[in-house]
Amino acid sequence: MYFHSTVALAIQAILFNVVIAKRQQSSCSIKSGGSNATDDAPAILEAFKQCGRNGRVIFEPTTYYVNSVMNISWLENVDIEIHGKLLVRTLNECTDIPYWLNNSLDVGYQNQSTALILGGNNVRVNGYGKGNFDGNGDYWYQWIRKQPNTSNYPGRPHAVTFDKLTNSAIKGLTFFRSQMWTMSIINSHHVLLDSILVNNTGNWAQSSNTDGADTIRSSHITFNNWTVYNGDDSISLKANSTDIAITNSKFYNGLGIAMGSIGQYKDEFETIERVVAENIQYNNTLHAFYVKTWTDDQNGYPPNGGGGGLGFASDMKLKNLTANGLRGAAFAISQCTRFSGAPGQGNCTNSEFQVKNVVIEGLSGTSKSTRVASLQCSAIAPCTNITILDTTLHLENGTLADGYLCGNVENSAGFECNGVPCVGGSATGEC
């Protein structure tokens, strides 16, 4: 009952905030230049300047060639209709990729950056199931594998950042081959993201670090009816993400729902609180749900290094989950985050960031791993009140997965620990 009422109230509150009296005074239909020789970004920016307040901005059913960054952060009571495609120009490693590396917009967290910032109040974006963003990611996926830093290369942009977006709804959009993370949601509150498809499967290069969405310093965010194909976190909640709902969604090939990484900034207090996930299907993902925190030792600096952060992740509830071919432990906690190219991670059990009050109720399906849970927690701030109920996973041969590996777990319920987890650095929940 708790799950259903919480999610329903969250969606109802967001919809109430975005359904307001429309005082549209202007309408702007954007014309495309027609080829990648013309940058459509100036025309797009001009349309938003004219019609981004109490108006309507219309992308026609054609291709728009986006050759430069856009910061559209002044919106107020606007409808945005996207009937066509926004294609990011990345056709040449010698000219296009250096442009984005040098000009992508800072998002104010982890030294990350973005190609597009969209922000404002009472913003309604509708793609009608046809509008899409194409990041031309194959070129990025091929290029990044040649670099010494393949995790978080400086300047490699997110496809879109919703920054300071409030009382808004985004729906009916598709994102293809995002350059890096598809979507970062930062400093945003009361936002509904509904009926979104993310497909970061490369045509001729394997994608990496292409999260479906990441929330940072945001609250009352609802992800409903998402489908994500990618090679990293399906959806990730990072620092100060509170009152987040993930419902009625399907995730393919990635890492599953992630809490973190968090605790990366020394002495900073951050939280993840009141998270609900319900009616989720996982297909060939690594985990269903996992938590990743940094140790208490600061080793290097973000985006790849860090540590020494304070805080907690609490009140996280998941229900009605189904899995097809999980690749690792269904539920994992690792308090020793380490990314490729970072300095040594230090003591893997000394994190002061605590994980507590987790309820997982109802997971069925198949797994390639015998581990239902791998909980590598801190000895300084042990994981407490971890409950796992009604979980039935089978291997391909029909054997029941029954491994519950625990380190520094207190007051667990619904399962008995029958082994110890691997203790070591990891970016994906298990070392």
At 61, which amino acid appears? Answer: P
- Segment 107-147, tens digit of pLDDT: 999 999 999 999 999 999 999 999 999 999 999 999 999 99
DSSP 315-333: EEEEEEEEEEEE-S-SEEE
Q: Domain 1-251: give its CATH superfamily.
A: Single-stranded right-handed beta-helix, Pectin lyase-like (2.160.20.10)
Question: Which pTM does this prediction carry?
Answer: 0.95
Q: What is the pLDDT along the chain (431 residues), one digit of tens a residue?
A: 455 556 665 665 666 555 543 455 799 999 999 999 999 999 999 999 999 999 999 999 999 999 999 999 999 999 999 999 999 999 888 889 999 999 999 999 999 999 999 999 999 999 999 999 999 999 999 999 999 888 889 999 999 999 999 999 999 999 999 999 999 999 999 999 999 999 999 999 989 899 999 999 999 999 999 999 999 999 999 999 999 999 999 999 999 999 999 999 999 999 999 999 999 999 999 999 999 999 999 988 888 889 999 999 999 999 999 999 999 999 999 999 987 655 555 799 999 999 999 999 999 999 999 999 999 999 999 999 999 999 999 999 999 999 999 999 999 999 999 999 999 999 999 99
Q: What is the mean pLDDT of the chain?
A: 94
Q: Which part of the chain is CATH 2.160.20.10?
A: 1-251, 255-431
Distance CA 114, CA 118 (A): 11
Bond before 27 cis per omega within 30 degrees? no
232: annotated active-site residue: yes
- Residues 205-216 pLDDT 10s: 989 899 999 999
| Span 230-242, pLDDT tens digits | 999 999 999 999 9
Question: Residue 154 is encoded by which pair of tokens?
Answer: 């400086």
Find residue 316's DSSP bridge partners. Answer: 275, 358
pLDDT confidence of residue 20: 45
Q: Pick the catalytic residue from 211, 232, 296, 297.
A: 232
Predicted confidence at residue 353, as pLDDT, reads 98
Rounded to whole angstroms, the Cα distance separating 207 from 230 reads 7
- The tens digit of pLDDT for each residue in 155-184 reads 999 999 999 999 999 999 999 999 999 999
Judged by DSSP in three states, 368 sits in: coil
pLDDT score, position 304: 84
- The second-level CATH assignment, the architecture, of 255-431 is 3 Solenoid (2.160)
